Structure 1
Amino acid sequence: MADRYIDFANSDIGRRLVGAIGLPAPVHLERWEAGRQRPVEGALLIGGNGLLLASLAPGFDRLTPAVFTAPGWTPETGPRLKAMIFDASAITSAEQLGELRDFFQPALKHLDTCPHVLILGRPPESLRDPWAATAQRALEGFSRSLGKEIRHGGTVQLLYVAEGAEPQLEGALRFFLTPKSAYVSGQVLRLVACTDHVQDWSRPLAGKRALVTGAARGIGAAIAETLARDGAHVVLLDVPQARESLDALAARLGGIAVALDIAAPNAGQELVAALPEGIDIVVHNAGITQDKSLKNMTPAMWDHVMAINLQAPYRLTQALLENGKLHDHGRVVLLASVSGIAGNFGQSNYAASKAGLIGLAAAWAPALAERGISINAVAPGFIETHMTAAMPFTPREAGRRLSALGQGGQPQDVAETVAWLAQPGSGAVSGQVLRVCGQSLLGA
């Protein structure tokens, strides 16, 4: 569904009126398009005194030819900035936190549209010096606040990079500094050492087999399309009632369609039988809502949501593991929701199921790491789908505007995030939840 407010706010008369009244002025976000020549199309400014920049230096020219350092770039002589990286890993005191202000303040008035900012640090829990740990923890408050100030469709993320995880930084930069992360902002992730690497950045999932549940339409279809674009051979799963749409999408993507009720008692055995060659990537996207205030919710409504949203992902993954179908160094991605983080009126069953998926990722990550398998949750916020298009006007507009980016996301935004977590090098991220919500004010 089109967002008419954004269209109006970016028209000639709309810009004047919105500015005069002081209304939010969200911009059309730039998203990844086929044929893009460089991950970063514009100037990249780097700064900070940490050691992480040295490990990144060989890859900067693969991102963009226009790389500037803080002393060499000035607002008066430098180009407008499309991306920024600040290495804060050497900050070990409260006094040194002023380096953040000194780096970012001159640049904020000289940003291009839809800029992307990445701050790098060390995990506070890994530092013995209490002051160093304190200073590194302070980066979270700064990065999230900057995300709410940057405007112009910009995003800000913080990556805590553990010792030994430096080789996986390029993959993170190719996601967080590009339009692939257009609707991801205000996020804090931890990278750990990982032995897997992407061999071909044009097709990072080449040779991988990926299963996507709930794939017939909407976000599931977008995920399947994006995984296939990145080189994966896709297996698309949905309920038998969606067989026609499922078959059509599988034919277009050169994949395989599997019609299966994931809540059925024998769903695990049927899935194992449908995957004789096993699988490398599992995306649990299938989910339902049956909303009602708790005082009016029937046991059947509660149980149905739990069966589809929470129990099925657990049981299907367990069946794949027990039968040797999930390959070593595999990737599991669970589609949660910001409702599972912030809660939502009338969604106690849905929010509980999605919070459970976040807990499942955290609980399973240590055991799966022994086989090089990562498991993470992706928590979308307000995404423009058939479901949100059917919402009443007032809650739909509130969902769109209550974020730092002032708009809803697209299924592609969720799909790009899943595709990044599915990459070999993204085994550096596990047991975590990544929100795709435009830095929603709900649960922020």
Structure 2
Amino acid sequence: MVSSFPTPASINLSRVRLAIRSLQPQLVEWRRRLHQKPELGFQEKLTAEFISSKLQAWEIDHQTGIAKTGIVATIKGTKPPTHNFPSANRRATANSTQHSALSTQHSSLSTHKVLAIRADMDALPIQELNEVPYCSQHDGVMHACGHDGHTAIALGTAYYLQQHRQDFAGTVKIIFQPAEESPGGAKPMIEAGVLKNPDVDAIIGLHLWNNLPLGTVGVRSGALMAAVELFDCKILGKGGHGAIPHQTVDSVVVAAQIVNALQTIVARNVNPIDSAVVTVGALHAGTTHNVIADTATMKGTVRYFNPAFQGFFHQRIEQIIAGICQSHGAKYDLEYCSLYPPVINDTNITELVRSVAEEIVETPMGIVPECQTMGGEDMSFFLQEVPGCYFFLGSANPEKDLAYPHHHPRFDFDETALGMGVEIFIRCVEKFFS
């Protein structure tokens, strides 16, 4: 495989503590077992059973069946707190600046803090093409985005914390979330109360990332990933003979003009400093050469970082579709769905993660601050509720042919990243409570 990725950064494994390095074979074993048994969103029954069996064997308190297949494990540290901490400041908006101000102005104190760690665990409807011993055993379903690795890292973190409760003062909630790929499991878990009893003060999560080489960490405050909105439109024209077009309302012509016009939204309605994308990913109409199609259907997606755009694209897309249809005498049926808001990282928690990452990877090469992507993630719903940080852990290694992109049928990653992920989570826990 030819790849444009750089050689993986120098990894000093001595920066990963011995107890976690010794856990690496089990992390690989768990990840590969999960990879062999992939399950789609809200169908992760085998995955949930596997996670629960491990937590039960380690005597970790946990709840199952949250939002159908979700699990929350709770681990309480036994280290006595050395001083009081600012109390939790629940997020009312996605404005990280507001969080920074609130956290410094709030005067009340609390002696016990709660940090949440989130890992998604669902797979994708993809037929795996990898020829490896741990290849998917479920036809047409594959872990092609690294969620099996996320779950293994979360399990390793839970195991280590349970064995070293004397090293931190506070409570850690580990959230195993279903259905990130679709239709979204974060919001149902929040509605089920996973951020309460006890209330979560902050949350962190990671995504194994084949867009970065092994040994790097992508971490930035503010917008990391984009909002995801979807639209389905059906153009209702009037069919007829291809040689007698004046008797028809050509849905293909109408749809073609709509596709072109939609591109003007970003080009002429969005500030060039802001980033946004409008993509029509599917367009279907007609059946043969000489028949003007009665209907045409299109599917598309919208992506943006700025939360102020919420509602704007829906309105503008419908205005364009309505205007073009009216000018041609056609009608339309539009369905618009705001799937996920943008992932907005809190400044203070991002600094915590960055300081930890600098202890693990070689810097400055190892820290990648400009790592935004127009991909979406429902971690965003958690970050709307409490301050937190979602970051990328580089996992590509072209030298081992492990650099295929996410959602590719040959996607795989360098499993060295698993231990690194556990180490980063553990150090974040220790530093958050210290």
Please indicate, yes or no, whether the TM-score normalized by the shorter chain is above 0.5: no
Q: Given the two structures, how large is their TM-score scaled by the length of structure 2?
A: 0.27
The structure whose residues are more often strand, as a share, is 2
Q: Bigger radius of gyration, 1 or 2?
A: 2
Higher normalized contact order (CA 8 Å, seq sep 6+, divided by chain length): 2
Instruction: Output the TM-score relative to the length of structure 1.
Output: 0.26
